[in-house]
């Protein structure tokens, strides 16, 4: 029996590589983009209160409560909301749409490629050149006209670039579904350019709650789309796909109070990000212009920097696993400990590298 093509095997491995693989116990973690070390106490209390209910299957009332909270948050109808076991489940369901050709705007989160390729769906990467904006692909040589599924992040992981509403909507075509990964949209004050509140028949928005609320271990998210599109998406979905605690978290994190708390955190993070960017630039790094709670930066010494940081118990995300990026790029989450990261990078340059 023929073996797996080495290049295909390498792409599968790269597509399944995630930031937590760069982190060892005890390291200062800039590799993972979860913005809280643990969920807030009010959320933990609500989850604890539901533990006695785990002997029962999730109820339709729990599902409706979660849907209603999301619908109110985005001014959508209940039947336009689909609770998910993390946004990653939304990507896993995309094969149910049976696209002939899926176009993925790259560099981007690798999970869509992994699940679509595994389902035997043809995938075409539309690679954006630096500075990774959509300006380069909105002309005649951009997304193939025959692509009936287009996947894009906004803001995009790992580049942190925020595309405009007008650019996103320009990707629509008759017979095409546009999937917008908004996992980090709530990290930007005012959530500009989000399509979450737009009831468009051909647009599917995926949202994650794990990053904002420290829930990566629970897997929590939701999708927003027209009822007919959600019906196609879930045509072969397992029964009871989202558990009681997940539904509770979705409802809790979409209340007006929680949304206001997340918005305040997003506003505070703006200055933190600006200071971190200035610090990285001060030691000669080329930073990509973006808005997300992580920073993509470039250096000819990136591999040496990453190794030196690892030796100093600091983890950053390697980026050569993303289509369209090379090993000269690294990604770091925005954290208040950024001065320690910058100091260690400066030391790495002093010890071994040609700094610019």
pLDDT at 22 over 80: no
pLDDT at 132 over 80: yes
Identify whether the C-beta of residue 204 lies closer than 8 Å to the C-beta of residue 225: yes
Among 225, 258, 291, the domain-final residue is 258
Q: Give the CA dihedral 150, 95, 240, 152, nearest 10 degrees.
A: -20
Statement to judge: residues 110 and 26 lie in one domain: no
Statement to judge: residues 105 and 193 lie in one domain: yes
Vertex 88: Cα angle to 83 and 94 (nearest 5): 85
The answer to whether residue 4 sits within a structural domain is no
Statement to judge: residues 144 and 234 lie in one domain: yes
The answer to whether residue 230 sits within a structural domain is yes
Per-residue pLDDT at 142? 87
- How far is residue 79's CA from residue 195's CA, in Å, rounded to a whole number? 17
The answer to whether residue 168 sits within a structural domain is yes
| Cα–Cα distances in angstroms (integers) from residue 48 to residues 66, 206, 250, in the given order | 17, 27, 15
Q: pTM of the entire structure?
A: 0.93
Q: Exposed, middle or buried by CB within 10 Å (0-12, 13-18, 19+), for 61? A: exposed
Per-residue pLDDT at 23? 74
Per-residue pLDDT at 3? 37
Look at the alpha carbons of 103, 105, 106, 111 in this order and tell me if their dihedral is positive or negative. Answer: negative
Statement to judge: residues 96 and 234 lie in one domain: yes
pLDDT by residue (tens digit) across 134-173? 998 886 668 999 999 999 999 999 999 999 999 999 999 9
Q: How many residues in total does the chain contain? A: 356
Per-residue pLDDT at 268? 96
- How far is residue 130's CA from residue 340's CA, in Å, rounded to a whole number? 28
Statement to judge: residues 198 and 292 lie in one domain: no
The answer to whether residue 61 sits within a structural domain is yes
- How far is residue 251's CA from residue 201's CA, in Å, rounded to a whole number? 25
Structure tokens at 253: 């994190």
CATH code for position 337: 3.90.1150.10
| Cα–Cα distances in angstroms (integers) from residue 239 to residues 63, 224, 236, 243, 314, in the given order | 13, 19, 9, 10, 41
DSSP states of 119-149: TT-EEEEEEPPTT--GGGTSSTTSS-TT-SE
Among 258, 284, 305, the domain-final residue is 258
Statement to judge: residues 288 and 311 lie in one domain: yes
The answer to whether residue 1 sits within a structural domain is no
The answer to whether residue 208 sits within a structural domain is yes
Statement to judge: residues 34 and 46 lie in one domain: no
Mean pLDDT lowest for which of 2-16, 44-58, 171-185?
A: 2-16
pLDDT at 50 over 80: yes
Statement to judge: residues 292 and 246 lie in one domain: no
Statement to judge: residues 143 and 231 lie in one domain: yes
The answer to whether residue 346 sits within a structural domain is yes
CATH code for position 115: 3.40.640.10
Domain extent for 61: 41-258
Statement to judge: residues 150 and 169 lie in one domain: yes
The answer to whether residue 47 sits within a structural domain is yes
Per-residue pLDDT at 6? 43
pLDDT by residue (tens digit) across 207-262? 999 999 999 999 999 999 999 999 999 999 989 999 999 999 999 999 999 999 99
Nearest CA to 152 out of 295, 297, 34, 164 is that of: 164
Phi and psi, residue 128, nearest 5°: -85, 130
Among 236, 258, 280, the domain-final residue is 258
For 10-25, give the secondary structure using H, E and C. HHHHHHCCCHHHHCCC
Percent of the chain whose predicted confidence (pLDDT) is above 70: 92
What's the domain count of the chain? 2
Statement to judge: residues 119 and 247 lie in one domain: yes
Structure tokens at 124: 């075409």
Statement to judge: residues 287 and 166 lie in one domain: no
Mean pLDDT of the chain: 92
Strands of the 317-318 sheet, one edge to the other: 286-287, 294-298, 329-333, 317-318
pLDDT at 305 over 60: yes
Identify whether the C-beta of residue 105 lies closer than 8 Å to the C-beta of residue 132: no
């Amino acid at each position: 029996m023929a073996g797996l093509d080495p290049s295909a095997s390498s792409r599968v491995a790269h597509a399944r590589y995630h930031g937590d693989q760069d982190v060892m116990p005890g390291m200062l973690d800039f590799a993972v983009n979860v913005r809280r070390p643990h969920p807030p106490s009010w959320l933990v209390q609500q989850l604890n209160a539901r533990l006695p209910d785990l002997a029962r299957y999730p109820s339709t009332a729990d599902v409706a409560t979660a849907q209603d909270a999301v619908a109110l948050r985005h001014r959508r109808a209940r039947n336009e909301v689909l609770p998910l076991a993390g946004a990653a489940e939304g990507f896993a369901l995309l094969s149910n749409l049976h696209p002939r050709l899926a176009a993925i705007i790259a560099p981007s989160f690798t999970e869509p490629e992994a699940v679509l390729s595994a389902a035997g769906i043809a995938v075409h990467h539309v690679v954006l050149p630096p500075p990774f904006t959509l300006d380069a692909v909105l002309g005649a040589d951009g997304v193939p006209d025959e692509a009936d599924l287009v996947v894009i992040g906004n803001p995009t992981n790992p580049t942190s670039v925020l595309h405009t509403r007008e650019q996103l909507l320009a990707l629509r075509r008759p017979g095409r579904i546009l999937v917008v990964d908004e996992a980090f949209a709530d990290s930007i004050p005012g959530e500009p350019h989000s399509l979450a509140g737009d009831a468009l028949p051909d647009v599917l928005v995926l949202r994650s709650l794990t990053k904002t609320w420290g829930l990566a271990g629970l897997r929590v998210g939701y999708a927003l789309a027209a009822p007919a599109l959600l019906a196609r998406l879930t045509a072969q979905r397992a029964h009871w796909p989202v558990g009681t605690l997940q539904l509770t978290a979705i409802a809790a994190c979409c209340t007006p109070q929680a949304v206001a708390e997340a918005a305040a955190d997003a506003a505070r993070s703006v200055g933190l990000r600006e200071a971190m960017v200035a610090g990285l630039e001060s030691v000669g790094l080329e930073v990509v212009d973006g808005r997300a709670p992580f920073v993509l930066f470039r250096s000819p010494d990136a591999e040496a920097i990453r190794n030196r940081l690892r030796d100093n118990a600091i983890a950053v995300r390697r980026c050569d696993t993303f289509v369209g990026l090379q090993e000269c790029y690294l990604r770091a989450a925005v954290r208040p400990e950024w001065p320690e990261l910058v100091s260690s990078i400066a030391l790495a340059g002093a010890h071994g590298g040609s700094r610019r």
